[in-house]
Amino acid sequence: MKCQELLKALSEYVEGGVDPAICKELEKHLGDCNPCRVVVDTLKKTISLYKNDEVYELPADFKQRLHKALQEKWRQKANPHSDDASAKKD
């Protein structure tokens, strides 16, 4: 399972329609992908917050923000020193 696939499965998971087999894949992916684990952790907290308020509905922009946060983390993971690259050019 790739990070993108996890994100897709995650929205199904949130909506309560995820396949148990996918769920296993999801957990397996989380076992060795730290950025995704952080995102899922945040997601779980958000869900429980909403549950406490008895409004089990994610904000409209939540998925977008989730996606953005994930992409940011993947970018950092793939290229941790990307900020230095242009500065070193002299």
Rounded to whole angstroms, the Cα distance separating 82 from 37 reads 23
Closer Cβ to Zn ion, 14 or 36, answer by number: 36
The residues in 49-88 that bind Zn ion, with binding defined as CB under 5 A, are none
Closer Cβ to Zn ion, 38 or 50, answer by number: 38
Closest CA to 77 of 28, 37, 43, 41: 37
Is the Cα dihedral 28, 24, 4, 45 positive or negative? Answer: negative
Question: Quick check: 33 binds Zn ion (CB under 5 A)?
Answer: yes
Q: How many residues bind Zn ion (CB under 5 A)?
A: 3
Question: Quick check: 36 binds Zn ion (CB under 5 A)?
Answer: yes
